[in-house]
Amino acid sequence: MASAESVAQGAASPGPESSGELSPEQTLAGYRLMVRARAIDERCLSLQRQGRIGFYAPLMGQEAAQVGCAFAVRPEDWMFPAYRELAVALARGATLKSILDQLLGNSADLTKGRQMPNHFGFADQHFVTASSPIGTQITQAVGAAMAAQRRKDPIVAVAFFGDGATSSNDFHAGMNFAGVFRTPTIFFCQNNQWAISLPREKQTRSKTLAEKAEAYGFSGVVVDGTDLAAVHRAVRDARARAVAGDGPTLIEAQVYRLGPHSTSDDPKRYRSDAEVAQWKERDPLVRLRGELLAAKLLDEAADQKIWEEARAEVVSVFAQAEQEPPLDPDSIFDDIFASPTPRLDEERREASEHPVAPGGSHG
């Protein structure tokens, strides 16, 4: 497992020099977005413990990696998330209301209650709906990139996954296809050191995850995932190579999952308080806040206001989402066929004759 100290001492591999660094205004915008994501995380963890939402997978500690990546791609590019890419969705323009509606599975949920909570998707933002199976989005991203390549569309597909997914079949199949066909794919691995309870060093003997790309014929880059600018630079350069026809890149953003794997997990059972404390010193929000204060792009009063506004927004928007009515049970029959079949119509009639009362009992 890479320690917080090793990342701090420069485990990041420098990318090629090019233009397009984040401006001070973009950096401050990135910080605001990271704070917003952290505020949502805090609130959603609390809401799940209160029984007001059913499930949540936090991203605490991975905000800089996600925002840095999102800021380096373009609106026409396609994102293929796992189930922890909240900050990417926000950066792409997904609304907080639409995300909270999905967590609740109410009548405003774009997925109509047919996905697990925290598995949202937004077609307008080119943000594909997440799936629970580990790594399946990797091959999907490669397929989308191959299609773009054949259409000669100058776009990239970005596959997001964790260190655990590098042990999946889809990782190897996707990497091999991308290497053979030189697809415009960015494999963005957020190595948060733990695949639920399995530490990274028990998954592979490779010195880094990024070096696995060499076996498939393309470049791998290790970057400090707590550094917004470094991640942005690595993804920006990978995108430039992809659209120039130079093939895919595997980026290993070294981060740490500060919270649980999900609200169904108790990380105290498998990792030490000392380890978590060490990585908390590398909290990407604390790091970027310090940089902004030092550069006089932010002061203590402005920072406090950013946090207060972010937390107030989550409380307010969740209250709105809770007021949405529940889904109509008959919606289960929608979107199955372009034209309903006689059998489906019969099932709908039978369901309406025997409605299910709130709580699941038959009326």
Over residues 69-104, the pLDDT tens digits come to 999 999 999 999 999 999 999 999 999 999 999 999
pLDDT tier, 169 (very low <50, low <70, confident <90, very high otherwise) = very high
pLDDT tier, 354 (very low <50, low <70, confident <90, very high otherwise) = confident
CB-count exposure of residue 183 (10 Å: 0-12, 13-18, 19+):
buried
| SS3 label, residue 249 | strand
pLDDT tier, 3 (very low <50, low <70, confident <90, very high otherwise) = low
> Looking at the structure, do residues 276 and 358 belong to the same domain, yes or no?
no
Q: Which residue among 49, 52, 150, 270 is the active-site one? A: 270
Decide if pLDDT at 13 tops 90: no
User: Of residues 222 and 335, which shows the higher confidence score?
Assistant: 222
Identity of residue 253: A
123 φ/ψ angles, rounded to the nearest 5 degrees? -60, -40
> Looking at the structure, do residues 223 and 121 belong to the same domain, yes or no?
yes
pLDDT tier, 8 (very low <50, low <70, confident <90, very high otherwise) = very low
pLDDT at residue 243 in the model: 98
* pLDDT per position as a tens digit, 259-275: 999 999 999 999 999 99
Residue that is written with structure tokens 């774009």 in the block: 110
pLDDT at residue 353 in the model: 86
Read off the pLDDT of each residue in 159-164 and give the average, rounded to a whole number: 97
> Looking at the structure, do residues 313 and 336 belong to the same domain, yes or no?
no
| SS3 label, residue 325 | coil
> Looking at the structure, do residues 316 and 334 belong to the same domain, yes or no?
no
Last residue of a domain, one of 322, 340, 355: 322
Decide if pLDDT at 6 tops 60: no
> Looking at the structure, do residues 308 and 352 belong to the same domain, yes or no?
no
Token pair belonging to 56: 């949540």
> Looking at the structure, do residues 289 and 342 belong to the same domain, yes or no?
no
Q: Is 257 a catalytic residue?
A: yes
Q: What's the Cα-to-Cα distance from 285 to each of 18, 33, 230, rounded to whole Å?
A: 26, 10, 15
> Looking at the structure, do residues 108 and 24 belong to the same domain, yes or no?
yes
pLDDT at residue 355 in the model: 77
Number of domains the chain is built from: 2
> Looking at the structure, do residues 272 and 126 belong to the same domain, yes or no?
yes
> Looking at the structure, do residues 224 and 339 belong to the same domain, yes or no?
no
pLDDT tier, 14 (very low <50, low <70, confident <90, very high otherwise) = very low
Enumerate the H helices of 93-209 as residue ranges: 96-104, 136-151, 169-181
pLDDT at residue 343 in the model: 95
> Looking at the structure, do residues 217 and 351 belong to the same domain, yes or no?
no
Q: Which residue among 43, 261, 282, 289 is the active-site one? A: 261
The range of the structural domain enclosing residue 73 comes to 4-322
Identity of residue 49: R
What CATH number should be reported for the domain holding residue 15? 3.40.50.970
Q: Which of 225, 240, 227 is nearest to 74 (CA)?
A: 240
* Residue 279, Ramachandran bin (φ over 0: left; ψ between -120 and 50: alpha; else beta): alpha
pLDDT at residue 357 in the model: 64
Token pair belonging to 335: 């979107």
Read off the pLDDT of each residue in 105-128 and give the average, rounded to a whole number: 95
The residue count of the chain comes to 363
Of 201-205, 248-252, 288-292, minimum mean pLDDT range = 201-205
Of 2-6, 249-253, 258-262, 345-349, minimum mean pLDDT range = 2-6
Alpha-carbon distance of 131 to 115, in angstroms, equals 8
Q: Which residue among 36, 92, 200, 257 is the active-site one? A: 257
* pLDDT per position as a tens digit, 311-323: 999 999 999 999 9
Alpha-carbon distance of 340 to 334, in angstroms, equals 9
Please measure the distance between the N-terminal and C-terminal CA atoms of the chain and give it in whole angstroms. Answer: 55
Token pair belonging to 133: 């199976």
> Looking at the structure, do residues 347 and 206 belong to the same domain, yes or no?
no
pLDDT tier, 359 (very low <50, low <70, confident <90, very high otherwise) = low
Decide if pLDDT at 34 tops 90: yes
What is the per-residue DSSP string for 298-309?
--HHHHHHHHHH
* pLDDT per position as a tens digit, 99-114: 999 999 999 999 999 9
> Looking at the structure, do residues 316 and 346 belong to the same domain, yes or no?
no
Alpha-carbon distance of 87 to 64, in angstroms, equals 9
Q: Which helix (H) or strand (E) holds 252?
A: strand 249-254
